[in-house]
Structure 1
Amino acid sequence: MSSTNKLVAEERTQFGKGAARKIRRDHKIPAVMYGHGAKPIHITLPGHDAMMALKHANALLTITLGDEEHMALAKDVQRDPIKPVIEHVDLVIVRKGEKVTVDVPVHIEGEAAPETVVTTDSNTLQLEVEATNIPESLTVSVEGLEAGTQILAGAVELPAGATLVTDAEALVVNITAMISQEALDAEMAEAEAEAGIEHEESDADAEATAAAEGEGVAAADEA
């Protein structure tokens, strides 16, 4: 279940792109905290500690701001597309015992039957769960399962007190028979033929065709 990460925040009074860049240069992260009808609170978070806390999905944070403490969940984390830097965080204030709706990662464990392929169709499931009791992941075992097996959202074991929000009929894991290379090549050739795709004959194939035709001509002459 989720553990609480404590972060000491500072109130933010300067805004705009220039101010945000200065905050990040100081190894801090601009953030805003809101919820329960309260006025949004603009804060800065300690860069390293916040990045470590936000490595895990649905991390529950205890934000210390002056003499006050707030429990919060990260609603949106904006990351730099190139650098390992968090640019901004939106935090939602939560209370103990309050239920929240979150996307929880699905973790597949075990090995299915030989010559099968395991495909994960849903990487997360949406749950309604207590804010202080959010699971880090949901485990789905495929150990020994045969081709043709499908695991739906409604069949995934949930922690006590959690309610599934995702459609119970949503496909989570699909196990199919492994296709041979020959069958794959034949299927690809058929699809290309239907699409009218033609490939130029390679030099090796041309030589092989010419050799076969030569042998055919020689055999006809001998006859």
Structure 2
Amino acid sequence: MEDVVLNVEKRSLVGKKAKRLQAEKKIPGVFYMGSENVALQADEVPVRKLAGSHTTHVIKVKFQDGTERRAVLNEVQYDPVVGHILHFDLHGIREGEKVTLQIPVQLVGTAKGIKDGGILQHSIHRIRIQCDPDNVPEHAMVDVSELGISDSVHIKDLKMEGVKILDNLESAIVTVVPPPTIKEETPETAALAATEQPAEPEVIGKTKKTEEEPEAGQPEEKGKKKAD
């Protein structure tokens, strides 16, 4: 895989002053290598392409003075409201040193469990690896074609020559989960639900009529004497 070239300039504006670069369509960044760190800036478009790429690249960083360094894109900070890139970090690669980075996971095929009503659940989208800078895979490819319902592909199932995987090998990358079950109402369950209906509540304060209490508006029975 060929290196991707990124032209950069050393940056004099630091801290809050670096926000002025937005008006010039520039993005501030930092190049790190051991104890060395260089404040730099780059055009917005190539940085955005690198950050949004679905493949991993080793970057050939070209400074304005002609100096060239190899690096990987280590971190990108985004504006939480509008999504613009605010800052990026480049991790320099020393000669003969292995590089640690994350590569994207790419799914291929259609899981057969989906045809049976299953749902494809993609849980891990990037894998952290360590390898030689000249042997960086563009992505980790996962074929899901043979996955039935409740089947999974784990990180330990990945086959990448010359690459050390640093994440938990038992973690599931993708799983075909069973479809949700909906209980159908049967005559038996309907009858049971009817018997479980709550009784009509009793009205508090309403008293039963007694034989001694005449209905309102009715005369008293003849022959009964009024009490003295």
Q: Does TM-score exceed 0.5, indicating one fold?
A: yes
Report the equivalent of 1:14.
13
Q: What is the 5 A alignment of 1:67-216? A: 67-113=66-112, 114-115=115-116, 116-158=118-160, 160-180=161-181, 182-183=182-183
Give secondary structure in 1 for the equivalent of 2:75: strand
- Which residue identity does 1:111 align to in structure 2? T
TM-score of the pair, normalised by structure 2 = 0.70
CA distance in 2, matches of 1:67, 1:117: 52
Q: Classify 1:170/1:35 alpha carbon distance in 2 versus 1 (closer, same or farther; 3 Å).
A: same
- Which residue identity does 1:161 align to in structure 2? G
Task: Decide whether the 8 Å contact of 1:32 with 1:41 is kept in 2.
Answer: yes
TM-score of the pair, normalised by structure 1 = 0.71
Task: Decide whether the 8 Å contact of 1:103 with 1:124 is kept in 2.
Answer: yes
Structure number having the greater helix percentage:
1
Structure 2 gaps of 5+ residues are 186-228
- Which residue identity does 1:50 align to in structure 2? V
Aligned-residue offset at 1:111:
1.7
Report the equivalent of 1:60.
58
Aligned-residue offset at 1:184:
9.5
Q: Classify 1:118/1:184 alpha carbon distance in 2 versus 1 (closer, same or farther; 3 Å).
A: farther
CA distance in 1, matches of 2:132, 2:183: 49
CA RMSD, Structure 1 to Structure 2 (Å):
2.3
Q: Matched residues, percent identical?
A: 23
- Which residue identity does 2:158 align to in structure 1? V
Aligned-residue offset at 1:13:
1.9
Give secondary structure in 2 for the equivalent of 1:9: strand
Structure 1 gaps of 5+ residues are 186-223
Task: Decide whether the 8 Å contact of 2:109 with 2:145 is kept in 1.
Answer: yes
Higher radius of gyration, 1 or 2:
2
Equivalent residue pairs, number: 180
CA distance in 2, matches of 1:30, 1:165: 30
Per-residue Cα deviation, 1:158-211 (whole angstroms, up to 9, x for no partner) = 2x211121122112222233234x2499xxxxxxxxxxxxxxxxxxxxxxxxxx
Aligned-residue offset at 1:14:
2.6
- Which residue identity does 2:30 align to in structure 1? V
Superposed structure 1 runs of 4+ greater than 6 Å apart: none
Residue 45 (structure 1) aligned to one of 26, 42, 54: 42
